[in-house]
């Protein structure tokens, strides 16, 4: 009996989608905006903007503090974002999801609440050369305080993690491994399931920085098999100052709070304090309530599109953009991994990345130049900076063509 064919993935109506993003219709220096800086921050659809506006117009109150109607509405909205995030990453329980200001806070939470109390002189934390500074500096800070060390696993010239080297470096003194799911500079997708499997064999917890993965691919923390997973809202259509840490329940129950204050306690006496259970134990103070109303709306927007359609479109756009950039004279592309998200970092011979970005802005093109908060990666490739074009599902091939045309104009000015 023949198996049923897989249902076809419906194409995106990108022009209709673009109409949902007000900022995409503006001009810069008299030119139509081409926004290719999505790895830095994404643009926001009307539904997200309206969710934030609606909170302040209709529901503005603090959470978990008042029994009046506005307080209950604000609390329901805030906790609804936790439910949406738990569904979005397939957490086994909403209580495993801590709402944070973003990945940086999430990683620091693990550094100070999980790693710091456990590390001692002679221990090590293993990360990789391709990491964002947010997945390097917190580990250095806690290592300095404990006498531990931070080790970095190497990558190859294609920008792929050398897995056998990484596994060799999972030695007994390693107490935590920390890996980005997707490189913000190279677009490289790391094989998290395989890495998590090898970490589990050795009893080493694994933290994953998912900032650049969550906007582009379906995340299933249970299937990945990691211990901690951090995401940032503003890179996936949500407002700034939003994000989350997912962690296994057993870790959260054993972790002391990182911040102290209101809403993370059961009872406070001068003789001592009894802390709330996770996740609220780690959410001291007044949170970004309106921002999380927007984050819930962002998740709904992405889910309505569907990751199958989103990924198929972005991979086609990445292939188109990569080929177009490859055809530029004197170009050097950084990151040739077999599995990538829609990021292309490159340099043109004789042109500095910052000069290129400045002149491209005059053509209405927004791209990122610099070290991308990844100094060790820049050192590996022997360059001070790259130009990075990072794409999203609301970008188009017509914009890619306009980008290449703008580079041609800039080249005449610089070279």
pLDDT in tens, 73-114: 999 999 999 999 999 999 999 999 999 999 999 999 999 999
- Output the CA angle 58-233-16, nearest 5 degrees: 80
Establish whether 178 is a catalytic residue: no
Q: Residue ranges per domain, the chain?
A: 14-40+306-414, 49-303
Check residue 5 and give its pLDDT: 53
Three-state DSSP class for residue 79:
helix
Class of 14-40+306-414 per CATH? alpha beta
DSSP 8-state class, residue 111: I
Task: Burial-class residue 250 by CB neighbours within 10 Å (0-12, 13-18, 19+).
Answer: exposed
Within a 10 A sphere around the Cβ of 94, how many other Cβ atoms?
14
Confidence of residue 271 (pLDDT cuts 50, 70, 90): confident
pLDDT of residue 1: 46
Distance CA 247, CA 143 (A): 21
Predicted confidence (pLDDT) per residue in 20-31, tens digit: 999 999 999 999
Contacts of 152 (CB under 8 A, 6+ apart): 126, 127, 128, 129, 131, 376
Cis peptide before 279 (omega within 30 of 0): yes
**Residues 208, 193 contacting (CB under 8 angstroms):** no
C-alpha R_g of the chain:
22
Helix (H) or strand (E) holding 178: strand 174-180
Per the CB < 8 A criterion, the answer to whether 300 and 85 are in contact is: no
pLDDT mean over 42-60: 98
Residues 319-348: tens digit of each pLDDT: 999 999 999 999 999 999 999 999 999 999
Residues 6+ apart with CB under 8 A from 60: 70, 74, 290
Please list, in sequence order, all residues whose beta carbon lies within 8 angstroms of the beta carbon of residue 21, skipping any fewer than 6 positions away. Answer: 43, 44, 45, 46, 394
Structure tokens at 37: 């800086």
Max Cα-Cα span within the chain = 73
Taking the C-alpha atoms of residue 338 and residue 221, their distance in angstroms, rounded to an integer, is 23
pLDDT in tens, 173-200: 999 999 999 999 999 999 999 999 999 9
Q: Is the pLDDT of residue 293 over 90?
A: yes
Instruction: Judge whether 128 and 179 are in contact, CB under 8 Å.
Output: yes
Cβ neighbours of residue 123 closer than 8 Å, sequence gap 6 or more? 146, 147, 148, 149, 173, 174, 175
- Topology at the third CATH level for domain 49-303: 3.40.640
Contact 321, 34 (CB under 8 A): no
Q: Please tell me which residue, 354 or 1, carries the higher pLDDT value.
A: 354
Q: Look at residue 8 in the predicted model and tell me its pLDDT.
A: 63
pLDDT tens profile 381-408: 999 999 999 999 999 999 999 999 999 9
> Which tokens hold the place of 291?
């921002």
| 118 touches 251 (CB < 8 A) | no
């Amino acid at each position: 009996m023949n198996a049923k064919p897989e249902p076809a993935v419906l194409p995106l109506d990108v022009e209709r989608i673009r109409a949902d993003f007000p900022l995409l219709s503006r001009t810069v220096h008299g030119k139509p905006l081409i926004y290719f800086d999505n790895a830095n921050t994404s643009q926001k659809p009307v539904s997200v903007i309206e969710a934030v506006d609606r909170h302040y117009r209709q529901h503005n109150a603090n959470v978990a503090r008042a029994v009046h109607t506005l307080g209950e509405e604000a609390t329901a909205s805030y906790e609804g974002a936790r439910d949406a995030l738990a569904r979005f990453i397939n957490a086994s329980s909403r209580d495993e999801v801590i709402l944070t200001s973003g990945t940086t806070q999430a990683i620091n939470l693990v550094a100070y609440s999980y790693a710091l109390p456990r590390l001692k002189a002679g221990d090590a934390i293993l990360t990789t050369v391709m990491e964002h500074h947010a997945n390097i500096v917190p580990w250095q800070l806690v290592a300095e305080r404990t006498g531990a060390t931070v080790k970095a696993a190497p990558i190859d010239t294609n920008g792929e993690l050398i897995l056998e080297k990484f596994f060799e470096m999972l030695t007994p003194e390693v107490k935590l491994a920390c890996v980005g799911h997707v490189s913000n500079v190279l677009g490289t997708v790391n094989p998290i399931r395989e890495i998590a499997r090898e970490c589990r064999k050795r009893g080493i917890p694994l933290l994953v920085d998912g900032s650049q993965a969550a906007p582009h691919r379906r995340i299933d923390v249970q299937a990945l098999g990691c211990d901690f997973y951090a995401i940032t809202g503003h890179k996936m259509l949500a407002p700034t100052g939003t994000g989350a840490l997912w962690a296994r329940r057993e870790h959260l129950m054993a972790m002391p709070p990182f911040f102290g204050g209101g809403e993370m306690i059961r009872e406070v006496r001068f003789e001592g304090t009894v802390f709330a259970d996770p996740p609220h134990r780690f959410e001291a103070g007044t949170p970004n309530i309106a921002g999380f109303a927007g984050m819930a709306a962002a998740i709904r927007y992405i889910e309505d599109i569907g990751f199958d359609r989103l990924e198929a479109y972005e991979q086609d756009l990445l292939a188109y953009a990569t080929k177009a950039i490859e055809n530029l004279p004197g170009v050097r592309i950084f990151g040739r991994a077999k599995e990538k998200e829609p990021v292309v970092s490159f340099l043109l011979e004789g042109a500095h990345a910052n000069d290129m970005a400045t002149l491209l802005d005059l053509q209405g093109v927004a791209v990122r130049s610099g070290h991308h908060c990844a100094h060790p990666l820049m050192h590996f490739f022997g360059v001070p900076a790259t130009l990075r074009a990072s794409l999203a599902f609301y970008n188009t091939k017509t914009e890619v063509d306009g980008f290449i045309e703008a580079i041609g104009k800039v080249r005449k000015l610089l070279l």
